[in-house]
Amino acid sequence: MNEFPLRHLAIIMDGNGRWARERGLKRVKGHEKGAEMIRGITTYCASHKSIETVTFYAFSTENWKRPKMEVEFLMKLLDRYLKNELETYQKHGVRFQAIGNLSEFSPALQKRIKETEELTRNNTRLTQILALNYGGRLEIVDTVNRLIKAGKTEITEEDISSHLQTPYSDIDFLIRTSGEERISNFLLWQISYAELYFTPTLWPDFTPEELDAILKNYQQRTRRFGGV
Ligand code: IPE
Ligand code: IPE
Ligand code: MG
């Protein structure tokens, strides 16, 4: 029995493209369906007794390598997603926050992100973090540079943990969909003792029911953190 409550869940939403291809659809149709699936998982997390934060990997610093048309579609989808989700955030007490290098997004999209953060800032049931133009290495380097600018000459682990872009707790449990078993530059600092789970389910097929079953697996794990 896991004595550490699951407070911070992280999810690498992977497999949208394969989901679409399997159905003879364009990759972007997979992204569209994938975006719709976030709501159910978020509301599940909002009603869960111990989860305080759920962080979704939505766009990595490496995803700019994709065809221009796909990247542009993802940007539009993100804007539409935030606009449509506001109602869900307010109804379920979800605070929205973004992490990543947002300055590379269009001014309109940056505005939408900031506005959504502002409008939901007093919600307390759950924090939903979207990692957008996010890279784990970049986050660590940015944090160290900020500390240097502030005059630090020697940097501790505690300094980094408390000066990350959004200084939030370590990840307890990381789930990746689509059968790929890698981290792809997600939350490198925060996952040092996270429990990992890889499911073959493609993200557009991932339901709250499957999440519920996977969380039972977390409950059975013994976390030792290097102890006995
Ligand atoms: C994840 O699905 C969504 C993003 C990375 C934006 P993919 O688009 O990576 O789907 P696959 O891995 O090609 O199936
Ligand atoms: C990781 O998925 C990024 C997101 C889910 C946003 P990718 O599909 O981009 O990762 P790789 O290329 O398979 O490692
Ligand atoms: Mg992928």
For the CA atoms of 219, 221, 227, 228, the dihedral, rounded to the nearest 10 degrees, stands at 110
Task: Note the pLDDT tens digit of each residue in 85-101.
Answer: 999 999 999 999 999 99
Which residue ranges have their beta carbon within 6 Å of ligand 1?
13-18, 59, 63, 74, 178
User: Is 168 a residue whose pLDDT tops 70?
Assistant: no
| Ligand 2 centroid from CA 15, angstroms | 9
185 lines ligand 2 (CB under 6 A): no
Q: Which residue, among 128, 80, 76, 85, has the nearest Cα to 106 in the 3D structure?
A: 76
Nearby residues of 157 by Cβ (< 8 Å), 6 or more positions away:
none
Q: Which ligand is nearest to the CA of 131?
A: 2
Indicate which residue of 2, 63, 101, 185 is catalytic: 63
123 is catalytic: no
Q: For 57-93, how does the pLDDT look when each residue is reduced to its tens digit (9 = 90+)?
A: 999 999 999 999 999 999 999 999 999 999 999 999 9
Whether 217 sits among the annotated catalytic residues: the reply is no
Whether the pTM exceeds 0.95: the reply is yes
Q: Which of 14, 123, 133, 172 is catalytic?
A: 14
Report how far ligand 1's centroid is from the alpha carbon of 35 (Å). 11
- Cβ–ligand 2 distance for 76 under 6 Å, the answer no
Residue 132 corresponds to which amino acid?
A: L
pLDDT band, residue 2 (cuts 50/70/90)? confident
Contact 132, 78 (CB under 8 A): yes
